[in-house]
Structure 1
Amino acid sequence: MNADRIDVHQHMIPPVYRDALRRHGITAPGGRDLPDWSPDSALSLMTTARIGSAILSVSTPGTTFLTDPAEATTLAQALNDYSSEISAAHPGQLGFMATLPMPDVRASRLEAERALDTLGADGVVLLGNSAGVYLGAEGQDELFRALDDRCAVVLVHPADLPGEPVPGILPFAADFLLDTTRAAYLLVRNGIRRRYPNIKFILSHGGGFVPYAAHRLALTIFSETGVSPADLIDEFAGFYFDTALSSSASALPSLLSFARPGHVLYGSDWPFAPDPAVLYFGGGLDAYAGLDDAQRRAVERVNALTLFPRFGAAPAIAPSTPMLNRVRSTIRRQAFRGIARAIGPRA
C-alpha cells in the first residue's frame, strides 16, 4: 500500500500553547486529557499510519479561553510563527492551518493575511463556535472577504457547545458533531457559501451530522429564506469532508454517496485520537469494499492535492466530472420539487 496519505486533520500542541492552557487550568480540552506531542512523535505516527504529509492545526479551544482580545491575538501570532518554523523545517511533510483569534473579526482578518501571505500557511482553522459566536453568524464578512480573495482553505473544527455540558457525555463524543453541523448550517443559511465561493471549507469528522441530515436542514432553510432546496443541498454537498474518526463501515457509505465527488479527504485527528484509533479508522478505509483502489487513492491523497498542490503533482483529471455533477444535481432537484411546492417558504 502507498505510504503517502495526505492528512488534512492532524493536530499540534506547541509548547507555548500547552503552557497557556495550563496557566488557565485547562488540562482536558473537549473532554480529552491533553496528549503529549512533538514534531518527532508526529513524524513517527505518520510513518506507522502511512501518512506522507500532514497539515497541522491547533485544536479547540484555540485562543477563545483568553478574554483579552490583545492577549488572544498575541497567542495566535506566536502559534503561527512556531507553526511556520516547523513547516519550513519539514518541507513536504508538515504544513499548517493558521490559528486566528476569533471572535475578533478584524484581528482574525489581519492574522489570516499575515499567515497566508507571509508565513506560508496552507489554510486557516476556524472553530464551529468561538466563545459562543458561531462561524457564519452576521458580522464576519471582513474575514470571509480576505479568505475568498486568497482562495483559502478553511478547516472547520468543532468546539465545546455554548452552555453547560450534559453530565456523562464528553463533548468530543457527540457535542462536537453538533457544533460542526451548526456552523455548516449557518454558512449555508446566511449565504456565506454563495457570496464567497472561492473559500474551500473542510468540515471535520465527516461533517458532523451534515451528510445524514442535509435534506432536513435544506428544507428548513428553504422555509425560512425561499432559496431552492436543491441548490441548498448542492451547497451542503459542496463542502469538503475529512474522514477523521469517521471512516467506519457504517459512516462511509453515507458520506461518500452524499459528498460531491472529490470532496472526501483523509484525516487522522492525531494526537487527540490516539494511535490505536488512527490505525483503526485508517484500516476501516483500507477494508471498505465500497471503494476500488482508485477511489481509495483519491480519498487518501489525490483529492487533497487539488487543495494543497505543494504536497505533490495535482491530478491531471479531476476525480469528478461536470456531467456527473449535473446528473447528481438533476436528481436532487427532481426529488425536491414536489416537497418544495408543498412546504413553501415561510411568509
Structure 2
Amino acid sequence: MGRIDVHQHLLPEPYVQWLRSKGIGQAGGRELPAWSADSAIAMMDDHSISTGMLSLSTPGTHLGDDAHALDKARQINDIGAELVKDRPDRFGYFATIPLPYVDGAVQESIRALDELGADGVVLLANSRGTYLGDPAFEPLMTELDRRSAVVFVHPAELPAPAVPGLPPFAADFLLDTTRAAANLVLHGIPRRHPNLKIILSHAGGFLPYAAHRIAVNFIGQGRDPGEVFDDLTSFYFDTALSGSPTALPSLLAFARPGHVLYGSDWPFAPDLAVTYFTDGLDAHEPHDTELHQAIDSGNVLQLFPRLA
C-alpha cells in the first residue's frame, strides 16, 4: 500500500467560480490553484500516494450568509461523494460544514456522514472569528462525538490584520491551528467528547514546540498542567509542509505513538513543495522502516479502516 494523504484539497470549478464572483481569488495568501481529479491522481502517482482524503480549504463556504453557506456546503459534499463513488480506491473526503451557522452545520454533518458516507468532516480553526471549542459550537461537537467522527482541523486567516509581506499561510496559519487546539482543551472537548478523532493540520502548528508553555498557563485556572498536556497530545497530526529537519523531530517527540499521519497539502502546496517535504520525511531516520510505514499508511488505517 502506498501513502494515504489526509491533507489534500479539492477545488471544484463551481466552487472556484463562486469564490471569484465574491471577489476572492486567494486563500491564505496563495492564488487559487488549478485542480481536477485527474491531476490529483497524477500527483499521487508521482509521490506513491494510494489515496487522498479531500477537503475544502479556507475560506470554506460561509462568507456571511447562513443559507448560502449551507447550500454551497451541500453542493461541495455532493461533489465529494461522487468522486469517492467513482474512485473509492483513490479518494476519500471530509465533508464541508458551514460554521459558524451551527444549526446548518449539525444538519449537514448528519447528512454527509449518515447519507453520503463521508469519511469525516473538515472544520476551520476559526469560523469568522469564533474558535473551535467555543461553547456556541457544542451542539455540533456533541453530534460528531455521537458518531465517533474524524474531524480534520484546517487553519483559516486570523481574525486580525496580516503582517505586510508575510502571507497568512507562512505563519498565521500555524498560530490559528495552535489557538484552536488550546481552545479545544480549555473548554474540555477531548475529555467531554472522547469519541472524536481530531487531526490538526501542519504538524499542529506551533503546538509541539509550545505545548509545555501552554499547559503551564492552565495552572492559574486550577488545572493540572500534566492533565492539560495529556489532552494536548490526544490530537492527531499531519505532516503537511512539516517534513523538515526541525519541525519533524519536534512533532515526533511530542505526538503519541500512532498519531502522526502523512499529508501533502496539494494543490496549495505545489508539486515542488510536496516533493521537498516528503523527501524530508523519508530522510528522517531512513532505516526505521516501521516508523515510515506507520506514518505513510499504518496509523491512518486505524481511523479509516475501509481503506484497508
**TM-score, normalised on structure 2?**
0.98
Name the structure 1 match of 2:2: 4
Matched, 1:211 2:208: yes
Matched, 1:231 2:230: no
Kindly indicate whether the alpha-carbon contact (under 8 Å) linking 2:190 and 2:234 is maintained by their aligned counterparts in 1.
no
Name the structure 2 match of 1:33: 31
Name the structure 2 match of 1:319: none
Determine helix, strand or coil for the equivalent of 1:280.
helix
Name the structure 2 match of 1:20: 18
**CA distances 1:48-104 after superposition (whole Å, capped 9, x unpaired):** 011001100000000132x11000000000000011001110012101000000001
State the distance in 2 between where 1:85 and 1:244 align: 25
State the distance in 2 between where 1:230 and 1:190 align: 16
Q: How many residues align?
A: 308
Aligned letter for 2:272? P
Relative distance call for 1:210 and 1:290 in structure 2 (3 A) is farther
Q: Which residue of 49, 72, 77 maps to 1:75?
A: 72
Name the structure 1 match of 2:285: 289
Aligned letter for 2:249? P
Matched, 1:60 2:58: yes
State the distance in 2 between where 1:290 and 1:180 align: 29
Name the structure 1 match of 2:113: 116
Name the structure 2 match of 1:95: 92
State the distance in 2 between where 1:282 and 1:92 align: 21
Aligned letter for 2:299? N
Aligned letter for 1:242? D
Kindly indicate whether the alpha-carbon contact (under 8 Å) linking 1:157 and 1:203 is maintained by their aligned counterparts in 2.
yes
State the distance in 1 between where 2:145 and 2:300 align: 19
**CA distances 1:157-205 after superposition (whole Å, capped 9, x unpaired):** 0000002211111000000000000000000011111100100000000
Aligned letter for 2:21? R
Unmatched segments (≥5 aa) in structure 2: none
Residue 279 (structure 1) shift: 0.8
**CA distances 1:198-225 after superposition (whole Å, capped 9, x unpaired):** 000000000000000001111112322x
Name the structure 2 match of 1:84: 81
Residue 310 (structure 1) shift: 0.7
Equivalent pairs: percent with the same residue?
Answer: 56
Kindly indicate whether the alpha-carbon contact (under 8 Å) linking 2:6 and 2:54 is maintained by their aligned counterparts in 1.
yes
Name the structure 2 match of 1:42: 40
Determine helix, strand or coil for the equivalent of 2:31.
coil
State the distance in 2 between where 1:219 and 1:18 align: 43
Larger Rg: 1 or 2? Answer: 1
State the distance in 1 between where 2:133 and 2:13 align: 31
Matched, 1:267 2:263: yes
Name the structure 1 match of 2:245: 249
Residue 286 (structure 1) shift: 0.9
State the distance in 2 between where 1:15 and 1:36 align: 9
Kindly indicate whether the alpha-carbon contact (under 8 Å) linking 2:4 and 2:296 is maintained by their aligned counterparts in 1.
yes
Q: Which residue of 193, 197, 207 maps to 1:196?
A: 193
**TM-score, normalised on structure 1?**
0.87
Unmatched segments (≥5 aa) in structure 1: 313-347
Aligned letter for 1:221? F
Residue 285 (structure 1) shift: 1.0
- Runs of 4+ with deviation above 3 angstroms: none
Kindly indicate whether the alpha-carbon contact (under 8 Å) linking 1:253 and 1:290 is maintained by their aligned counterparts in 2.
no
